[in-house]
Structure 1
Amino acid sequence: MVTSLLVVIVVLALLFDYTNGFHDAANSIATIVSTKVLTPFQAVLMAAVFNFAAYFFIKDHKVANTVSKIVIEQFVTLPVILAGLVAAITWNLITWWFGIPSSSSHTLIGGFAGAGMTNALFLGVNVAKAVEMNYVLKIIAYIVLAPFIGLLIAYIVTIVILHLCKNARPAVAERWFKRLQLVSSAALSFAHGGNDAQKVMGILYVSLIASKIIKAGDTMPEWIPLACYSAIAAGTMSGGWKIVKTMGSKITKVTPLEGVSAETAGAITLFITERFGIPVSTTHTITGSIIGVGLTKRVSAVRWGVTINLVWAWIITIPISALIAGSVFALLHFFA
């Protein structure tokens, strides 16, 4: 029974990584497609390659370690993990269908935490004791901080570039920025793979611990990162065109120069947070970066109505995912 359930969890975890890939493909290719530097197919192919390339360079897995410790070990069971994954996949598909660039990261974290707290409730334990609040509060803080960090870096990068290129001929400058967008988009895709694939790696790691296949503190089996990076790259190849449209044109009109600024800011933010093991949202980060680029022109250049809708999606993601996961766990508990 344990083996069968573990196989189901591994399949669902990789399915989530796949949906994460096509849901978040827009993060790294939206501006490069909207500025017509690459065709959609060329863009997703490049993004997928650099998503997977992170496998060869990122070996510390600090983000995976953070995710694996969100629910305290005694409350982590295979049904808890299963419920969290079902909730995360469900919310990912709902937001993808409506073209809402919500956070796959926070969907997974909310689902995992919600199922863990529901398990504690059934065990007659204070639900607050089921989650490691230091990790949860850090993640919640970066829901707010990540887009503002991206916004600030994008604003500064754009101002610096405009100052450096103030005497350049517009046609020559645009040609160069289209070339630079290939670099900045590749960097963002690499950072996205390195940050987002690790979240499922953390879930699979605790699944093996809950199954008593490995012990806490053991080295992560190599098949886990290989499978996760492969799944997220395959999902990216599938694209997420509704979200590309929202990210690439509905927030603010993006030029090649501004695409370079937004993608560079997003990549820098993700590299920094990955270094400190913080599972931030790629979606939130690049959205903040695009807003920062728009603000260099004027406040009215940002379509604030669209932006406010995105913020609401961010706010409700964790609680809704937790609620769905708690409901799924309750059903599993009653029918087990």
Structure 2
Amino acid sequence: MDPLILVALVIALALFFDFTNGFHDTANAMATPIATGALGPKAAVAIAAVLNLVGAFLSTEVAKTISGGLIREGDGGVQITPVLILAGLIGAIVWNLVTWLLGLPSSSSHALFGGLIGAAIVGAGFAAIDGGVLISKILIPALLAPLTAGLVSFLATKIAYSLTRKRERDGFKKGQIFTASLVSLAHGTNDAQKTMGVITLALIAAGFQDVGTGPELWVIAACAVAIAIGTYSGGWRIIRTMGRGITEVEPAQGFAAEAATTATILASTHLGFALSTTQVASGSVIGTGIGRKGASVRWRTAGRIALGWLITIPAAGAVGALAAFIASLGVAGIVVDVVLAGIAILTIFLWSRRTRVDHRNLHQPEPGVFVRPKKRRKARR
């Protein structure tokens, strides 16, 4: 296959992944303000889309971790081909859509890493993966970031409830608009860069860009637009899980969760850690549920989320590895990969239409989750 056509196909799939990343991760910023009524659903996703677009232009450190760190560079360039990158993207996209269908806040970032790692191992061997980068900038942050965010949000919730009276806490709704906006901005600085890194990696692997260079301006702009459009499309299933499925969120809790999420993401972005914003946001919501007296965390839902975290990298890696094996058959294999991926995407989309979730039925409880009805005040005689 002509290298230019292959790279163009990789870029198209990478931008589609960026789109799925947007709607998969909208909940990270906007689930709690929607749940508390601080923002309406449509206004929330519009704000998130604009700020994801802006955030994508603010940093490229995470992109460099992917384009010049995770996959080793050899004498002739990076040890991965555009074909393998294509296979890795298929693994990431399929797993992202499966977890979205289930309403599971899994990590789009880890789906991408898993897909690339699985494809690289099949095509270039274990030596193609830089274990040091994998451990220090991906796996360790995956463990520490949600714990850190959960602890910070727990403490922030305790402080907020100890310093304010009940009638004063609705003021946190206005604060939530600010903190949720910061999360969206931070998400753009971290997650959009991962697709930038993949496209840059493909360009370097195909010889269209020098080894060791960062993303070009057109790559940054394309990824920013793709993630913004994906964010605006909603991702309502995961918003419902994070807004109502983990714990009942009050404005003070939402404020604390979003502040903790923002601080953790921005610190990680500065250090070049390609962490999962979904894990951070979920950890923050759990922390607020533990921190508010009288609140309860639905540990069954939290357990499902944790299971999703554990299996995302190997599951996406398995799909990426299978796609890489098929692609090794030549041009016919690449065509088969693309066709199978298209069938999988279409099947998941059609299946989702059977139980549609959107901004109109967003506040209905997640299936299988009991929501305690609020007590009604007795009318005065």
1:248 and 2:248 correspond: no
* Higher mean displacement: 149-158 or 270-279: 149-158
Between 1 and 2, higher relative CO (CA 8 Å, sep ≥ 6) is seen in: 1
8 Å Cα contact 2:157/2:292 also seen in 1: no
1:53 and 2:54 correspond: yes
What is the RMSD of the two structures over their aligned residues, measured on CA atoms? Answer: 1.3
Name the TM-score, length of structure 2 as normaliser: 0.83
Structure 1 equivalent of residue 14 of structure 2: 13
Matched positions, count? 324
How far apart are the structure 2 equivalents of 1:112 and 1:218? Answer: 20
Q: What's the offset of the Cα at 1:299?
A: 8.9
Return 5+ residue gaps in structure 2 as ranges: 332-381
* Higher mean displacement: 312-321 or 70-79: 70-79
Alignment deviations for residues 119-175 of structure 1 (CA, whole Å, 9 cap, x no partner): 12xxxxxx331100011112112221111011011012112222332xx4x33431x
How far apart are the structure 2 equivalents of 1:172 and 1:300? Answer: 18
8 Å Cα contact 2:120/2:126 also seen in 1: no
Q: What's the offset of the Cα at 1:298?
A: 5.1
Alignment deviations for residues 208-250 of structure 1 (CA, whole Å, 9 cap, x no partner): 1111111112343100111111110110000111111100011
8 Å Cα contact 1:30/1:245 also seen in 2: yes
Structure 2 equivalent of residue 87 of structure 1: 91
Q: What's the offset of the Cα at 1:300?
A: 7.0
How far apart are the structure 1 equivalents of 2:139 and 2:146? Answer: 12
Structure 2 equivalent of residue 100 of structure 1: 104
Q: What's the offset of the Cα at 1:183?
A: 0.2
Q: What's the offset of the Cα at 1:3?
A: 0.4
Partner amino acid, structure 2, of 1:25: T
Alignment identity in percent? Answer: 39
Structure 1 equivalent of residue 26 of structure 2: 25
CA gap of 1:277–1:35, structure 2 versus 1, over 3 A, is: same
Alignment deviations for residues 5-38 of structure 1 (CA, whole Å, 9 cap, x no partner): 1111111101000000001011111001111111
Structural mapping, 1:136-285, within 5 Å: 136-138=134-136, 139-165=138-164, 168=165, 170-174=166-170, 176-285=171-280
Partner amino acid, structure 1, of 2:91: A
Partner amino acid, structure 1, of 2:152: I
Partner amino acid, structure 2, of 1:55: A
1:115 and 2:124 correspond: no
Q: From 329, 335, 338, give the equivalent of 1:334.
A: 329
SS in structure 2 at match of 1:252:
coil
Partner amino acid, structure 2, of 1:173: R
Structure 1 equivalent of residue 39 of structure 2: 38
| Higher fraction of helix | 1
Partner amino acid, structure 2, of 1:282: T
Partner amino acid, structure 1, of 2:128: A
How far apart are the structure 1 equivalents of 2:163 and 2:293? Answer: 20
* Higher mean displacement: 217-226 or 324-333: 217-226
Structure 2 equivalent of residue 124 of structure 1: none
How far apart are the structure 2 equivalents of 1:63 and 1:219? Answer: 10
Return 5+ residue gaps in structure 1 as ranges: 121-126
How far apart are the structure 1 equivalents of 2:49 and 2:38? Answer: 17
Partner amino acid, structure 1, of 2:273: I
Partner amino acid, structure 2, of 1:153: V
Partner amino acid, structure 1, of 2:162: H
How far apart are the structure 1 equivalents of 2:245 and 2:322? Answer: 35
How far apart are the structure 1 equivalents of 2:174 and 2:49? Answer: 19
Name the TM-score, length of structure 1 as normaliser: 0.94
How far apart are the structure 1 equivalents of 2:321 and 2:4? Answer: 23
How far apart are the structure 2 equivalents of 1:219 and 1:195? Answer: 15
User: Runs in 1 of length 4+ with deviation above 4 angstroms?
Assistant: none
Partner amino acid, structure 2, of 1:229: A
Structure 1 equivalent of residue 63 of structure 2: 64
8 Å Cα contact 1:75/1:119 also seen in 2: no
Structure with bigger gyration radius: 2
8 Å Cα contact 2:150/2:288 also seen in 1: yes
CA gap of 1:219–1:145, structure 2 versus 1, over 3 A, is: closer
Q: What's the offset of the Cα at 1:53?
A: 1.5
